[in-house]
Amino acid sequence: MKNNVSFHICTQSETPAIVDFLMEIGPELKLSERQTAAEMVDLLFAQGGVVAGYATQDGAEKMVAMMGFFWGDPHKDFANKHIGFVYVAAIAKAWRHTGVFRGLMVEVSRIFMAHDVQEVRFHAEEANVYTNMLYSKIAQPLNKEKNRRGITCILYGTSVANAVAY
């Protein structure tokens, strides 16, 4: 059953699995080099965290989704710790439209609430229809800007309470 996914906060020991997962769907994320993915995950652990969704497939746990976030705004050198910034969300194709994104948001929102984060922001690549559709259900577009890798994105924002209500 596709909704049988468990979510947890990752530790740095899971870095290889997270990098493997990001590379698995790398082209969609504009990731072509493992080193770039590894640097992204290192930065997530240095400035925030990662939540992953695992499903049991063929008797083994397999990562099927992840969401990496920062404490603060990466465009402002991670200032404004009342902002939780979702830097990357990735869901394996077979698990999209199954509620997995909602599960990731619930877990990340719980973490944000526990750390008194008031606002959540998301980047969606301007040309990515699916991600923009997901984020527009939760938040309002704030502006367009380039992400850390120079890709034009739409920046969305909402209160953590609104994200939880979603």
pTM: 0.90
CA gap 126, 23 in Å, rounded:
21
Length of the chain: 166
Can you say whether the dihedral through the CA atoms of 90, 159, 103, 115 is positive or negative? positive
pLDDT of residue 3: 56
112, with CB counted inside 10 A (0-12, 13-18, 19+), is buried
Positions of the chain with pLDDT under 70: 1-3
Per-residue pLDDT reduced to its tens digit, 76-123:
899 899 999 999 999 999 898 888 988 998 899 999 999 999 999 998
pLDDT of residue 147: 81
